Structure 1
Amino acid sequence: MPTDFPPWDRVYAFFRRWRDHRLVREFHDRLRGQVREKAGRDTQPTAGVIDSQSVKADAVVGADSRGFDGGKLVNGRKRHVVVDTLGLLLGIMVTVADVGDRAAAHVLLEQVATAHHRLALVWADGGYTGSLVEHCLATFALVLAIIKRSDNVKGFVVLPKWWIAERLFAHLMRSRRLVRDFERRIASAEAMVYWSMIALMTRRLARPHRGRG
């Protein structure tokens, strides 16, 4: 802990209270509304992007809450996120790394659709194809638009709309605490992501507004 902080157990008590009572989520969501308003958008989004990021888990993470992502060759956890078109977080679910994107999306998209009633369109990559598309439309009236990579394109390609989610992941990886997963509890891992986004949004709100000349 930094020398100007109280004892670690007191700091953790505050963190645990904010995490368990969902205060960090409420604080985050209020800031997101202010950032969207400052950008000239409605506080409630109508479109978003879903994606996932696998990160290595530290040794403190028990075997019961970590897994192996065979595609990314990562032993750890996976962050499933939905972001708005500004790259701001709408919802996150942390799982063991071997949980499939579609399985996690069934739960995450229900949470996001319930919290954001105006959300009508979510872009996704080919990993979310299948019955999930029909499920979202029938259950949440949510269009899950699959953006597929062209077979004629070789090498690494950023798909349309994909830079939005990748920008969020890039921000998370600039947060030292999030470079790998250090949290024993998944709830703490999710809370740390919210805190990182809170720091990002407070910096945006602190910037002077640039009006037209």
Structure 2
Amino acid sequence: MLTRLRRLHRDITLVWADGGYTGTLVDWWRQKLALTFEIVKRTDDMTGFVVLPRRWVAERPFAWLMHSRRVARDYETLPATSETMIRWSMVTRMSRRLARPRAAARH
């Protein structure tokens, strides 16, 4: 996925990743794709729920998807159909965001 991201969007240079992505994989991405990685980790002294910096950016699209009835429950029997429903939900969500008037245009 990151190889395709790098090929299509050369201007993206920073990637935030979960603590599970540490190690040789990050080193390989850094060398081959010239991407800068910032690993978002919990510290050992944290207890309970703590909002981690930049984690919400990754979790927000999942919350958006849960607004779609077909995606909120797993009604589909085929993985391809499930993937199609997720894509359809995101296309609908993003087209609504892009179509709404901007604040500067309202004045």
Q: Above 0.5 in TM-score?
A: yes
- Shift in Å at residue 121 of structure 1? 1.1
- Shift in Å at residue 130 of structure 1? 1.2
Residues in 1 aligned to 2:87 and 2:21: alpha-carbon distance in whole angstroms: 24
Q: Specify which structure has the higher proportion of strand.
A: 1
Q: Which residue number corresponds to residue 46 of structure 2?
A: 153
Between the two proteins, what is the percent identity of the paired residues? 50
- Shift in Å at residue 189 of structure 1? 2.6
- Does residue 1:177 correspond to 2:73, yes or no? no
The answer to which structure, 1 or 2, has the higher relative contact order (CA under 8 A, 6+ apart) is 1
TM-score scaled to structure 2, two decimals? 0.83
What are structure 2's unaligned runs of at least 5 residues? none
Letter in 2 for 1:141: A
- Does residue 1:208 correspond to 2:97, yes or no? no
Q: Among residues 24, 39, 48, which one is paired with 1:131 in the alignment?
A: 24
What are structure 1's unaligned runs of at least 5 residues? 1-107
Q: Specify which structure has the higher proportion of helix.
A: 2
- Does residue 1:144 correspond to 2:37, yes or no? yes
- Shift in Å at residue 199 of structure 1? 1.1
- Shift in Å at residue 178 of structure 1? 1.0
TM-score scaled to structure 1, two decimals? 0.45
- Shift in Å at residue 188 of structure 1? 3.0
- Shift in Å at residue 163 of structure 1? 1.0
Q: Which residue number corresponds to residue 197 of structure 1?
A: 90
- Does residue 1:122 correspond to 2:15, yes or no? yes
